[in-house]
């Protein structure tokens, strides 16, 4: 599985997986939904995010709990 919207950069956010090289961690999206926010709530509060960002963040999180290495696009 390849992730086009999830990036890592060792010089940004401690190298944690982020959405589209934004300073918005995948874990933050997952935690917001776990806390009861809907996609619509999150997108309204964070206009830089897109619905596909949310879906890919959850695909990434699902894969992360079963894989040791995930192919990510390295950001500049």
Average pLDDT over residues 47-74: 86
Q: Give me the CATH number covering residue 41.
A: 1.10.10.10
Q: Are 17 and 10 in contact (CB under 8 A)?
A: no
Percent of the chain residues topping a pLDDT of 70:
92
- Domain span at residue 65? 3-74
At residue 74 the predicted structure's pLDDT band, cuts being 50, 70 and 90, is confident
Q: Is a pLDDT exceeding 90 seen at residue 75?
A: no
- Residue 64's pLDDT is 87
At residue 66 the predicted structure's pLDDT band, cuts being 50, 70 and 90, is confident
Helix boundaries (H) for the chain: 26-34, 39-45, 51-64
Give the 3-state secondary structure of residue 6.
strand
Q: Is a pLDDT exceeding 90 seen at residue 69?
A: no
Structurally, the chain folds into a number of domains equal to 1
């Amino acid at each position: 599985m390849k992730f086009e919207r999830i990036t890592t950069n060792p010089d940004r956010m401690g190298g944690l997986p982020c959405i589209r090289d934004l300073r918005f961690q995948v874990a933050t999206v997952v935690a917001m939904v776990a806390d009861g926010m809907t996609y619509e709530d999150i997108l309204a509060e964070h206009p830089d995010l897109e619905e596909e960002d949310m879906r890919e963040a959850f695909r990434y999180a699902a894969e992360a709990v079963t894989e040791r290495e995930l192919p990510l696009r390295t950001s500049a």
